[in-house]
Amino acid sequence: MISAFFNAGVKSQSSEPPVREFRDDQIRGAFSRTHDGYSSDELIVSDQLRSDFLRELSIDPSDTDEAEVQTAALLSLLRLRKTGKLQVPATRRNHVDVSPWIDTAEIAIRTVLDRHQVSIDVVMCDPRLRSELQAEAAAIDDDAPPERIRKAVLKLRKVRQLRPELVLRVADWQTQVLTMAFDDINLEELPDSPGVYLFRSEQGYLYIGEAANLSARIAEHLGGSHNRGLAKCLAQAGGEGQPPITLELHVFAKDSPGKRVLMRRAYESELIRSREPKFNLRP
């Protein structure tokens, strides 16, 4: 069965009351009283520091109905930092090794960014998207620690490894992103729409391809992929000591530019360039 993690996305705020606004001095004061010497980025990453900060602003961090208010407060904090108006020095650093989680974090954050087309700051500040990020990471590795995944995402951003994909920046293809475990693939449930597919494991991306009909193309791979490296991985999937494989589908609307093979190949090439799958030839 297809498992589309949070595929509906963040609910629209157009029909909801205006989100609460915060004065700069409120944000600055709450941060100075709760950051424990750490930076604003560290506060965003840390469950404890973030909760203390929100409570200082009379926001319940466990109240899902206040997701928009939580997001607004945390984004206000980052805005002050970026504009040089936070003016509360950081005196401590959290030296933790996130290298074991870099690959998992990269796959998870890319999936969430592709699905919602938002910034990394929004993912980090919105409790719903943070949960979605962790769900994607846990789907790759059950033991993925939430704070280290988030810290790894920030590290990837700092070294400029998370640029937005070219095609999705210039066109809205009504893209739907679906992820499912290899053992859960049901060909009858896969969309027959155009799109791009990505096979991946906890070790990184394995193969990326495009198709006019995703269901038919995945059936071809499962019946014996033309790519020898991928075929061997798929044949061994589920075996003892083999890392679990996940299928990720970027499904385009049938009346979108994605129905043109030229456009799908441009997007496919961009994904191959940025994600460096093991068994693709570089475009």
Give the mean pLDDT of 14-34.
82
Question: Counting Cβ atoms within 10 Å, is residue 152 exposed (0-12), middle (13-18) or buried (19+)?
Answer: buried
CATH 3.40.720.10 fits 171-275, yes or no: no
pLDDT of residue 15: 45
- Average pLDDT value for the chain: 87
pLDDT, tens digit, 9 for 90 and up, residues 87-121: 999 999 988 999 999 888 988 898 898 888 788 99
The phi and psi torsions of 245 (rounded to 5 degrees) equal -110, 140
pLDDT of residue 173: 74
Give the mean pLDDT of 78-82.
93
The pTM score is 0.68
pLDDT of residue 256: 84
pLDDT of residue 3: 46
**pLDDT > 70 fraction of the chain, expressed in percent and rounded:** 88
Torsion sign (Cα): 188, 193, 199, 201: negative
Cβ proximity of 208 and 280 under 8 Å: yes
Map out the domains of the chain as residue ranges: 25-82, 99-158, 171-275
pLDDT over threshold 50, residue 13: no
Q: Which of 267, 101, 113 is nearest to 198 (CA)?
A: 267
Stronger pLDDT, 100 or 10, i.e. the higher one: 100
pLDDT of residue 14: 40
The phi and psi torsions of 271 (rounded to 5 degrees) equal -65, -40
Q: Which range is least confidently modeled, 17-21, 29-33, 145-149?
A: 17-21
Instruction: Write out the two tokens for 54.
Output: 């929100």
**pLDDT > 90 fraction of the chain, expressed in percent and rounded:** 57
Q: Which of 162, 70, 161, 84 is nearest to 120 (CA)?
A: 162
pLDDT over threshold 60, residue 10: no
pLDDT band at 11 (very low <50, low <70, confident <90, very high): very low
Contacts (Cβ under 8 Å, ≥6 apart) of 266: 166, 167
Give the mean pLDDT of 250-269.
87
- Our CA dihedral for 74, 79, 82, 86, rounded to 10 degrees, sits at -80
